Amino acid sequence: MNAPGAWASGAFGGTNMTAQKLLGMSKTNRVLTIRPDGGIVQAARAMRRGQVGSLVVTDSAGRLVGLLTERDMVFRVLAGTLDPLRTTAGDVMTAPARSCQGHEPIAAVQATMVRRKIRHLPVVRGGRVVGMISARDVMKWKAREDREMHELTIFSLAKLAESRDTETGQHLERVREYVAVLARRLRGRRSHRRRVSTDFVALLQTTSALHDIGKVGIPDCILLKPDRLTDSEFAVMKTHTVQGAATLEATLLRYPHAEFLRMARDVAAYHHERWDGQGYPEGRMQEDIPLAARIFAVADVYDALVSKRVYKEAFGHPLAARIIIDGKGTQFDPDVVEAFVACQDRLQAIHEQYTAARAAA
């Protein structure tokens, strides 16, 4: 699986996140200073060279006395209340500037910035400014924290459902990587570039874990049967798509703006539909099947083919790839199959990595 980035949970998040930790992770926390008698033309040049949106105003001893922001200067110039050639930093700075010491929880820092209507907050230790927290940093942290809470909730629910069928070990982990690879390849096609955004890829990778959430409603005698299902048993098994979709739809009605729930519902409901209309539960065909479900269908079938099941041995990659390719235009979206062909070496490598890791455990 992909290694978490610098902003991933575990490195930060929750009640343990402080201003100092956020400061260390931010790429935009450079601190540039200016004296109160410095001219604002000089200040504007410093901001441009340093690619920062604010300067810390300090006295001769290096102590914080104010904050000078590009936003304030621009507004004052446009309003005609500031002479660029005669005005100093001390004339325009926000004083006294609010600051923090770095140990404060980032949630408290956010509350202070909102309450005081400020966009930058210096971090001061020993009387000297050691960093700058920006509203953008805080918003990025908050958005990442919210997204990771969604992912944690989704994956926990999905693992709960998967725990009833341990034979498919690490299926969730593998398919979420397969769909990301396939979706990124589709994004490279001009016909899909607008629909398959970076957000779409991230959302699909996360929500794909819920594709079989409806299996919690399937009786153990069918779900765990160590043999092929009869026709009547398979009819019951197929209802997991409807049950999963209904569960997610009920939640979506309460939170209609939760896009991840919408995509999760689509994948759960339609990942067994076929391009030619011969799938289930609704017999949808071609573009009537949501794109997320069409991508997931290829990933899901590929993983089933190369994995051992109670009713079959694992197929080798060449045979699995041939089955996927033969399903182009019948079982699968032709564009997704072309993406599969283009990145099949990467998919095979992912499967082999998980197989090796499991064997070594």
Please report how many Cα atoms fall inside a 13 Å half-sphere around the Cα of residue 355, on the Cβ side: 13
Q: What's the confidence (pLDDT) of residue 56?
A: 80
pLDDT tens-digit map of 337-347 = 999 999 999 99
Is residue 280 scored above 90 in pLDDT? yes
Stretch among 57-66, 70-79, 172-181 having the lowest mean pLDDT: 70-79
Cβ atoms of 109 and 133 closer than 8 Å? yes
Is residue 250 scored above 70 in pLDDT? yes
Q: What's the confidence (pLDDT) of residue 294?
A: 97
Q: Where are the domains of the chain?
A: 14-138, 163-360
Residue corresponding to tokens 């769909």:
179
In this prediction, residues 170-196 reach a mean pLDDT of: 90
What share of the chain has pLDDT > 90, as a percent? 34
The better pLDDT of the pair 354, 149 is held by 354
pLDDT tens-digit map of 148-173 = 666 666 666 666 666 555 555 588 88
Fold of 14-138: CBS-domain (3.10.580)
**pTM higher than 0.85, yes or no?**
no
Residues facing residue 309 across a β-bridge: 312
Is residue 232 scored above 90 in pLDDT? yes
Q: At 235, list the tokens.
A: 């009819």
Most confident of 4-13, 87-96, 160-169: 87-96
Q: At 153, list the tokens.
A: 């909730």
pLDDT tens-digit map of 37-48 = 888 888 888 887
Angle among Cα 173, 178, 180 to the nearest 5 degrees reads 100
* CATH level 2 (architecture), domain 163-360: Orthogonal Bundle (1.10)
Q: Residue 262 — pLDDT band, cuts 50, 70, 90?
A: very high
Closest CA to 178 of 212, 147, 209, 210: 209
Residue corresponding to tokens 């899909």:
192
The better pLDDT of the pair 259, 32 is held by 259
Most confident of 34-38, 144-148, 255-259, 349-353: 349-353
